[in-house]
Structure 1
Amino acid sequence: MELFEKTTAGIRPAYEESMKKAAERLDKLVKPIGSLGKLEDLAIKISGITGKQMNSFEKKVTIIMASDNGVVEEGVSAAPQEVTALMTINFLKGITGVCVLSKHAGADIRVVDIGVASDLDYPGLINRKIRKGTFNMSKGPAMSREEAIKAIETGIEMVSLLVKEGYSLFGTGEMGIGNTSTSSAVAMAFLGCSSEEAVGKGVGLTEEGYANKKSVIERAISVNKPDPEDPIDVLSKVGGFDIAGMTGCFLGAAYHRVPIVIDGFISA
């Protein structure tokens, strides 16, 4: 809890002056003003994060949080739970899509077992297992409040360690069968939206399976009554260790003022 509180208390807004100077510098380059479009917006945003007008990223890394979700016992996914462990090992073997994309970008991979249901032992795996998967959120809280904070602090610690190793640009990823259900539940809790708006069909689900998935998530919200004004309450009741771990990565990056990419529905 101490690390979580220290980190959140230490996060500051973007450097407005640095962003202003970065915009001025871009306008002075030999090109039509604003001609690089969103690339210029990104450069200005990065300046706001780092406080520098000129930024280079020699060391980049993608952190993947892997964890299982107890709600899979409700049949919300077409894939069996064992796929989480299989894919976690495949990340370490470098044979997945995120590995190819990270290699193309010159980024290293760090894979964290933050809650895989089985015991894994493979070179390069970072074992920070909170527990062997979360509980079934449709029957009660997925985890305790203390476990949620521990998972968040795991993400914070990972970023802190990698910053010390010289990494200055971060990407994130997750692996956990059933985590489209947990992320949908988190979105519904925060946004107050319906399952029709928040829940996707996923890969391989039949129409019957899709209807069941929506029903299970609705039940999870009804049973747990997550408080949208309390993010830890939402995470602990209907989230996952992988989502909480990534949350910690985002907070840690904000604290250390390093850019981090948030990509995809589950990460966001």
Structure 2
Amino acid sequence: MNRQEIEIILNKVTPPSTPFRQRAQERMDNLTKPLGSLGLLENIVVQLAAIQRKIIPELRKPHALIFAADHGVSEEHVSRYEDHVTEEMAVNIAMETAVSSVLARHNQIPLDIVDVGVKSVVRHPKVIVQKIRAGTHNIVYGPAMTSEDVDRALHVGYEIATEIILRGTDVLIAGELGISNTTSSTAMACALLQRDPREMTGMGSGIDDDHRMHKVNMIAQALAVNQVDPEDYWDVLTKLGGLEIAALVGAYTKAVESGIPIILDGLITTVAALGLVRVNAECRQYFIAAHESHEPSHQALLTAMDLKPLLKWDMRLGEASGALLVFPLLQQGCAILKETATFADARVSNPHAKESLMVEPMPLEHPVRTDFSESERESFYRVIMGRRDIRIYLPDPIPQVVLQRVLMAAHHAPSVGFMQPWNFIVIDNPDIKRRLHEVVEQQRVVAAQNYTDMRQLHYLRLKVEGLLEAPVTICVTNDSHRGGPHVLGRNTIPETDLMSTACAIENMWLAARVEGLGMGWVSIFRKEDVREILGIPDHIDPIALMTVGYTPYFPEIPLLERVGWEQRRPFDDLVYFNRWSCSDH
């Protein structure tokens, strides 16, 4: 990956989606709050919606990348710290005792530190070593790097970002580490924005006024010696920049190529961002400025890219600390857009209804983020299509933990008014199963009277239950009184209690299929018989005996269809739109 390939990628980057931006803005403007009352946070959440192409953005899998490198200009004593501190701080971060490490750990954010140019060997195995060279040359006397150095650093950044994005990262938190890198970054900013070092140079890591003037002079000398082309970002980066800055450019390129937002930290991460914007101005919309440091060059760069920082706390730590601090705010902003009621939802009068942007809904693929991958969705539908009413079982016992999961799935079914009218009686006693089989068999014979001739003979040959063979039978009951005399949502359709319990049965059935268990619904019984056998109170109805166990096989098609009892009705004959439209009903 070299600068030419980077430019090809960046020139193909498209801006975030305007339709999703409009839909997110329309929702934001109709939340139960005054218009614009959350200030800049609202704009950034809407920006995230446009980037993710979802009406409701979510930041679920952040990843912090810190690139570390030393700078030859540190020889000029432009920092309070010697360059060996870069290695020591890299170890501190890897040991999870640095500020960035603490912030990442408390927010459960993976953090990687990558050595692309630290002078010495970094003494910790968690540091990712991709060293291009042991620091840059001193920019006071000539170019910091060669073109080959820059290309190699771009490649490292791009490849590292590719790895984390393939693992599902959906937001990149950018950071850097390197003594004297504010000097190199300020020099780059002066060149790119054609500004005077005297007005662009700050206190860096905490130097005094005398040292600041020394730093100004060193930057001025570097600009004079290198004679960069201010319109050529690569020329400026090569002659004045750092290996960690080039690596950041590579990582950013992969992020914007993948449609992933980037949270910038301070000056160094921002001067890297300008490289992308210089190639393609649309890249600007993928960046979020966490804060504005006290460095004048940082402020100038943010202004040049029209990036508005969330915080102005005079931070000057680096190592992604500002970006890590801001990340929870962005998550909470997304949660506000997702969970806050609109005026219509809350039935609150909307004082600015006419002012809010009313955007016509339009067909959008996946307007909100899905919780499941494509393979998970395919598996889910395969479970539904593969569910069968099983009557043949192996005698092998069901592990208790598996049975518990199946029952828990049933208990998490939806129910009207959250009444949860179900109970489950787990039956593995052979005598009880035999008594249940007897009463079911009696009613099976009685049910045969509903058919005549060949249909009756066909029915009597069917195996309609497996109570004796299955190791477990679950009696599912329904309590129509649970929830009191009136249940929310049950005013005009009292049988919604039965509908709710049926949902529990379906959940249990699907869970059993996932666990490799067969399950069959036995419904041919008198309620009073089952009540007596199982000691069920009179006001509670047993509505299903579900036989459960391992089965030799799951038929490709349902049993009753296979034996010719009934065929699946055509789907199109059963689905209407807006009105009942079947002519034969």
TM-score calculated relative to the size of structure 1: 0.94
Query: Which structure has the larger Rg over C-alpha atoms?
Result: 2
Task: Look up the match of 1:25.
Answer: 27
Alignment pair present for 1:263 and 2:265:
yes
Task: Look up the match of 1:254.
Answer: 256
Task: Look up the match of 1:108.
Answer: 110
Task: Look up the match of 1:16.
Answer: 18
Task: Look up the match of 1:129.
Answer: 131
| Residue identity in the other structure for 1:87 | M
1:176 aligned residue (172, 178, 181): 178
CA distance in 2, matches of 1:57, 1:248: 22
CA distance in 2, matches of 1:80, 1:238: 20
Bigger RCO of structures 1 and 2 (CA < 8 A, at least 6 apart): 1
Count of aligned pairs between the two proteins: 268
Task: Look up the match of 2:245.
Answer: 243
What are the superposed Cα offsets for residues 78-111 of structure 1, whole Å, 9 maximum, x if unpaired? 2111000000111101111111222233311110
CA distance in 1, matches of 2:58, 2:15: 21
Task: Look up the match of 1:203.
Answer: 205
Moved over 6 A (4+): none
Task: Look up the match of 2:45.
Answer: 43
CA distance in 1, matches of 2:255, 2:52: 11
CA distance in 1, matches of 2:226, 2:117: 21
Show the 5 A alignment for 1:114-193.
114-193=116-195
Deviation at 1:49, TM superposition (A): 1.2
SS in structure 2 opposite 1:112? strand
Contact 1:189 1:221 in 2 (8 A): yes
SS in structure 2 opposite 1:170? strand
CA distance in 2, matches of 1:254, 1:170: 10
Task: Look up the match of 2:58.
Answer: 56
SS in structure 1 opposite 2:268? coil
Deviation at 1:77, TM superposition (A): 1.4
Q: Which stretch of the first structure deviates more once superposed, 142-151 or 89-98? A: 142-151
Deviation at 1:152, TM superposition (A): 2.1
What are the superposed Cα offsets for residues 50-98 of structure 1, whole Å, 9 maximum, x if unpaired? 1111222222111001000001111211211100000011110111111
Q: Which stretch of the first structure deviates more once superposed, 165-174 or 34-43? A: 34-43
CA distance in 1, matches of 2:9, 2:133: 24
Alignment pair present for 1:87 and 2:89:
yes
Deviation at 1:212, TM superposition (A): 1.7
Q: Which stretch of the first structure deviates more once superposed, 83-92 or 242-251? A: 242-251
| Residue identity in the other structure for 2:217 | S
Task: Look up the match of 2:6.
Answer: 4
CA distance in 2, matches of 1:201, 1:16: 40
Task: Look up the match of 1:74.
Answer: 76
Q: Which stretch of the first structure deviates more once superposed, 5-14 or 154-163? A: 5-14
Contact 1:84 1:176 in 2 (8 A): yes
Deviation at 1:48, TM superposition (A): 1.6
Task: Look up the match of 2:308.
Answer: none
CA distance in 2, matches of 1:204, 1:111: 24
| Residue identity in the other structure for 2:159 | E
CA distance in 2, matches of 1:63, 1:175: 11
CA distance in 2, matches of 1:160, 1:203: 32
Unaligned runs of 5+ in 2: 271-585
SS in structure 2 opposite 1:130? coil
- Among the aligned pairs, what percent are the same residue? 35
Unaligned runs of 5+ in 1: none
CA distance in 1, matches of 2:218, 2:173: 31
Deviation at 1:190, TM superposition (A): 0.7
CA distance in 2, matches of 1:40, 1:203: 32
Q: Which stretch of the first structure deviates more once superposed, 22-31 or 188-197? A: 22-31
Q: Which stretch of the first structure deviates more once superposed, 246-255 or 76-85? A: 246-255
SS in structure 1 opposite 2:110? strand
SS in structure 1 opposite 2:82? coil
SS in structure 2 opposite 1:247? helix
CA distance in 1, matches of 2:91, 2:74: 20
SS in structure 2 opposite 1:113? strand
Deviation at 1:28, TM superposition (A): 3.2
Contact 1:3 1:153 in 2 (8 A): no
CA distance in 2, matches of 1:136, 1:35: 49
SS in structure 1 opposite 2:267? coil
CA distance in 1, matches of 2:28, 2:97: 39
CA distance in 1, matches of 2:154, 2:112: 16
SS in structure 2 opposite 1:197? helix
Deviation at 1:35, TM superposition (A): 2.9
User: Residues 208 and 35 (structure 1 numbering): CA distance in 2 closer, same or farther, change over 3 Å?
Assistant: closer
Deviation at 1:3, TM superposition (A): 4.2
User: Residues 22 and 224 (structure 1 numbering): CA distance in 2 closer, same or farther, change over 3 Å?
Assistant: same
CA distance in 1, matches of 2:30, 2:213: 56
Deviation at 1:219, TM superposition (A): 0.6
Deviation at 1:15, TM superposition (A): 1.1
CA distance in 1, matches of 2:247, 2:6: 12
CA distance in 1, matches of 2:5, 2:193: 28
